[in-house]
A and B are shown apart, each in its own frame.
Chain A
Amino acid sequence: MHSTTSDLVGADRLAPPSAVDALKIVIVGGFGVGKTTMVGAVSEIRPLSTEEIMTEASVGVDDIGRVREKATTTVAFDFGRITLNAGTMLYLFGAPGQQRFWFIWDQLFAGSLGAVVLVDTRRLADCFYSIDRLEHHRMPFVVAVNRFAEGPGLPAVREALDLAPEVPLIDCDARRRESCKQVLITLVEHLAHLNTFAREDIA
Chain B
Amino acid sequence: MIRRSVDREDPDRLYTVTGGRTRADDAAFDSVSLIVGECEPTPGMQSEHARILLLARRPIAVVELSAKLRLPVSVVKILLRDLLDTGRITVRHPSSMTRPGKIDPGTLKQVLVALHNL
Contacts and interface: CB of A to CB of B under 8 A. Distances in A.
Interface residues of A, number: 54
Interface residues of B, number: 48
A60 interface: no
B115 A185 contact: yes
- Secondary structure at the A interface, as helix, strand, loop or mixed, is mixed
Interface of A: 5, 8-10, 14-17, 19-24, 36, 42, 48-53, 55, 57, 72, 74, 76, 78-79, 81-82, 84-85, 88-91, 93, 107-113, 177, 181, 184-185, 188-189, 191-192, 195
Given A17-B59, A19-B59, A110-B96, 20 more contacts: A15-B34, A16-B58, A19-B92, A20-B34, A22-B30, A23-B95, A24-B32, A24-B96, A36-B1, A48-B68, A51-B66, A52-B73, A53-B72, A72-B6, A74-B7, A88-B110, A107-B26, A107-B31, A111-B97, A192-B112
Interface of B: 1, 3, 5-7, 23, 26, 30-34, 51, 54-55, 57-61, 63-64, 66-68, 70, 72-75, 92, 94-97, 100, 103, 105, 107-112, 114-116, 118
